[in-house]
C-alpha cells in the first residue's frame, strides 16, 4: 500500500507498447469488485483501443495528447440502461429517471474508475483522468453510441509510463481532516493551509506565466472560469434531460 498509493503520480506520457488483453481484463475484473449501491452495478466501461476511435474522441478531450498516445482509453459511464431493461423484463417498473438515480450511477462509476486506476498502477501502468468528459458528454455520447440511461462520467488514459514527473503537492492533512465536527476555516487557517502551495516555485511560475497576481486567480480567471462552468453546466443538464435522468 505504501509504494502504490503514496508514491503514485499522474502519467501523461506513454511508451508505444500495448497493454495485453489478459492484463487489461485482470485490471477491469479488479475494478468490478468495487462496492456499488445495492450491488446494482449501474455503470459501464467503454474500452477504446482503436486508433480511429481515439482520433474521434481526441477533440472532445480538447486534443489532450494522452487520448491518441495511450494504448487504452477507458470511458466510465453512469448506466441505468441495463438495469432498467432487466427490471422491465422481470415485470418490475424502474423508478430511476431522476437526478438521485443519476448521482447513484455516477458515484458507482467513479468508484469503479478509481479502483481500476489503482489496479493499473499496482501493475506498473500509468494513468491520467480526463475531466473533459463531463464538459463534452453530449458529443462523447454520440461517438461512443451511448443510449438513453447512460452518461459518461470520467475518462482514464492508461499506458506504460514514459515519464516519471515529480509528485505534486497536497494540502496538509490538518486542512482536510475534521474530527467529529466540521471545523470551519478562518482567514488565518486558510492562510496557513495554502501557504506551502503558494510558496512553491512552480506555483509562483504559474502565477507569472498566466499574468495573474495570486494562485487562486489562475484557477478562477484561467483554468476553471465561471463563464465556462456555466456554459458546460448547461450542456450537462441538457444531457441529463436527454438521457432520461431529469423526469422528476
Ligand atoms: C476528475 C479528474 C479530472 C482530471 N482531468 C484532467 C485532465 O483533463 N487533464 C490532465 O492532464 N489531468 C487531469 N486530471 C489529473 C489531475 O490534474 C491530477 O490528478 C492532479 O493534478 C494531481 O496530480 P497527481 O495525480 O499526479 O497527484 C484529472 C484528475 C481528476 C481526478
From the CB of 165, is ligand 1 less than 6 Å away? no
From the CB of 67, is ligand 1 less than 6 Å away? no
Mean pLDDT per 10-residue section of the chain, whose length is 248 residues: 88 98 98 98 98 98 98 99 98 98 98 98 98 98 98 98 98 98 98 97 97 98 98 98 93
Report CA(110)–ligand 1 centroid distance (Å): 14
Which candidate, 132, 1, 135, 5, places its Cα nearest to that of 73?
132
Report pLDDT for 175: 98
From the CB of 130, is ligand 1 less than 6 Å away? yes
**Against a cut of 0.85, is the pTM above it?**
yes
Report CA(218)–ligand 1 centroid distance (Å): 16
From the CB of 19, is ligand 1 less than 6 Å away? no
Report pLDDT for 3: 87
Report pLDDT for 178: 98
Nearest CA to ligand 1 atom 9: 130
Is the Cβ–Cβ distance between 45 and 112 less than 8 Å?
yes
Among 10, 111, 114, which residue has the most ligand 1 atoms within 8 Å of its CB, making it the best to mutate? 10
Report CA(114)–ligand 1 centroid distance (Å): 12
From the CB of 243, is ligand 1 less than 6 Å away? no
From the CB of 136, is ligand 1 less than 6 Å away? no
Of all atoms in ligand 1, which is nearest to the CA of residue 167? Answer: 26
Nearest CA to ligand 1 atom 19: 10
Report pLDDT for 39: 98
Of all atoms in ligand 1, which is nearest to the CA of residue 132? Answer: 8
Q: Is 149 left (phi over 0), alpha (psi -120 to 50) or beta?
A: left
CA distances from 235 to 79, 103, 122 (A): 19, 17, 36
Is the Cβ–Cβ distance between 159 and 70 less than 8 Å?
yes
Report CA(79)–ligand 1 centroid distance (Å): 23
CA distances from 48 to 97, 141, 244 (A): 28, 14, 25
Tell me the three cell numbers of residue 99: 437526478
Of all atoms in ligand 1, which is nearest to the CA of residue 61? Answer: 8
Report pLDDT for 2: 60
Amino acid at each position: 500500500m505504501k509504494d502504490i498509493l503514496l508514491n503514485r503520480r499522474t502519467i501523461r506520457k506513454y511508451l508505444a507498447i500495448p497493454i495485453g488483453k489478459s492484463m487489461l481484463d485482470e485490471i477491469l475484473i479488479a475494478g468490478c469488485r468495487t462496492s456499488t449501491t445495492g450491488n446494482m452495478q449501474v455503470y459501464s466501461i467503454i474500452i477504446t483501443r482503436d486508433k480511429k476511435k481515439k482520433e474521434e474522441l481526441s477533440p472532445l478531450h480538447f486534443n489532450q495528447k494522452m487520448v491518441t498516445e495511450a494504448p487504452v482509453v477507458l470511458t466510465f459511464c453512469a448506466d441505468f440502461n441495463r438495469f432498467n431493461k432487466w427490471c422491465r423484463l422481470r415485470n418490475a417498473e424502474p423508478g430511476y429517471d431522476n437526478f438521485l438515480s443519476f448521482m447513484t450511477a455516477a458515484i458507482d462509476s467513479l468508484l469503479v474508475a478509481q479502483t481500476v486506476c489503482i489496479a493499473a498502477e499496482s501493475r506498473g501502468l500509468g494513468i491520467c483522468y480526463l475531466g473533459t468528459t463531463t464538459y463534452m458528454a453530449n458529443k462523447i455520447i454520440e461517438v461512443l453510441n451511448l443510449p438513453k440511461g447512460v452518461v459518461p462520467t470520467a475518462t482514464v488514459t492508461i499506458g506504460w509510463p514514459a515519464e516519471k514527473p515529480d509528485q505534486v503537492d497536497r494540502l496538509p492533512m490538518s486542512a482536510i481532516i475534521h474530527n467529529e465536527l466540521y471545523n470551519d476555516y478562518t482567514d488565518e487557517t486558510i492562510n496557513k493551509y495554502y501557504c506551502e502551495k503558494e510558496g512553491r516555485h512552480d506555483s509562483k511560475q504559474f502565477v507569472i506565466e498566466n499574468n495573474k497576481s495570486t494562485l487562486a486567480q489562475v484557477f478562477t480567471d484561467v483554468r476553471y472560469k465561471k463563464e465556462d462552468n456555466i456554459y458546460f453546466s448547461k450542456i450537462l443538464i441538457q444531457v441529463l434531460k436527454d438521457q432520461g435522468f431529469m423526469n422528476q
